[in-house]
Structure 1
């Protein structure tokens, strides 16, 4: 079977308030490169990904093009667009580029990988697993079984339920979908008054009534959110490069 066209929407528009740094987290340097460099390099080098749509903070488009995309020769980046107030707004901005036909009919008929730019340790194995899973199930998300026991709390903060750990996954990205499916899901979502989705899988689950398959990401595929995460990332980088 011939490989379908795959577009990555990389989200790098977050403010990163929990990082407490003077620059947004995606531009913090690790080993002489901005954090977002490592994420984009993984997609640039991938045999799976054909195009990249990069979603950045409003007003940062020129900076990102000059200081990251052009500087590091990321040729797969076909569009840099401003993000919105919430994550789902930023995803929609990327999807609108696809839906406009700007990347061609092949892209519309293919698959879309939606990825948090702050997950810098995404790798080819994860992308390959995502492709194989979306081929079969149309919608899938990366994740890993929880290492910890999880408690569900009631409104007063008391432990109410302890789910079987074998059934509890920590969700990651990429979240991968048939492009036509995720575009339609978000189109319906954006028409509704009350939007309460924290990831793309919820958009598909709530609007399309299609089950979303979990596939294995990696315990290293962490999202850089706090200063502690940065220290972990430095260790991962040393081991990867060593």
Structure 2
């Protein structure tokens, strides 16, 4: 089942402490961004990629796309101050498609199998997001003191991609913009419309490159995927 994907790529990477867009940092001599893009470039069901970028980085990103033969990118609109603004910038430029995915450009280890299940679930129900079950004991804390131990059986750690019917995400983004609401992810915007969002169990390997420690973990995951040591 076909889809298009939106990748917000205009972040600053402050938590990484790299002094530049963390997507340009290398994993096995290849930028994180290219690792992520290759997943969608190589997926025959992906018919288009949209990258929200900083204007001053557009030329360099285009150079990377050309160098690594990424041919599915349909647009490089300006990213916004927040992720939500970047996603909306892409959505407004897209033509009507059945299913649209939103994925963190700094999550290079998503698999085509998980993507396929997300697309299928979103096609059937309207909205689906990737996630994994919480492993650790969870505590609610207030003013430095534990006030409750939360039953982790019903807790999930949410990842991306998040998949939606295009018209549903477009409406959710549009409504949020009109009322000035800023959500933590696209699913939250859809939830505000009273629409159920289904979860698809993903992988603990589907980490987001956020800190220097993640780069070390990322190298290990790459070696595992490639069957090397």
TM-score when normalising by structure 1: 0.90
Distance 1:46 1:160 in 2: 46
Q: Report the equivalent of 1:45.
A: 42
Report how far residue 83 of structure 1 moved: 0.5
SS at match of 2:56: coil
Q: Any conservation in 2 of the 1:145–1:168 contact (CA below 8 Å)?
A: yes
Residue-pair matches, total: 227
Once the 2 structures are TM-superposed, how far is the Cα of residue 159 of structure 1 from its aligned partner?
1.6
Corresponding position: 1:192 with 2:179: yes
State the partner residue of 2:93. Answer: 97
Alignment of 1:170-185 (within 5 A): 170-185=157-172
Which of these residues, 211, 215, 221, is aligned with residue 196 of structure 2?
A: 211
Deviation at 1:134, TM superposition (A): 0.7
Q: Deviations over 1:24-53 (max 9, x none)?
A: 110001111101011000011113311000
The alpha carbon displacement at 1:217 in A equals 1.4
- Evaluate the alpha carbon distance shift between residue 150 and residue 48 of structure 1 in structure 2; reply closer, same or farther with a 3 A threshold: farther
Deviation at 1:198, TM superposition (A): 0.5
Of 64, 80, 85, 1:84 maps to: 80
Q: d(CA) in 2 for partners of 1:115 and 1:158?
A: 35
Which is further off, 47-56 or 37-46? Answer: 47-56
Once residues 204 and 126 of structure 1 are traced to their aligned partners in structure 2, the CA distance between those partners, rounded to angstroms, is 21
Answer whether contact 2:13 2:22 (CA < 8 A) is retained.
yes
C-alpha displacement of 1:200: 0.5
Find the counterpart in structure 2 of residue 75 from structure 1. Answer: 71
**Structure 1 vs Structure 2 CA RMSD:** 1.2
Distance 1:57 1:121 in 2: 24
Q: Does 1:148 align with 2:144?
A: no
> Shift in Å at residue 23 of structure 1?
2.3
In the alignment, structure 2 segments of 5+ residues that lack a partner are none
What is the aligned partner in structure 2 of residue 131 from structure 1?
119
Offset at residue 58 of structure 1 (A): 2.8
SS of residue paired to 1:81: coil
Gaps of 5+ in 1: 102-107
The 2-side partners of 1:213 and 1:6 are apart by: 18
Distance in 1 separating the partners of 2:220 and 2:20? 22
Alpha-carbon offset, residue 157 of structure 1? 2.6
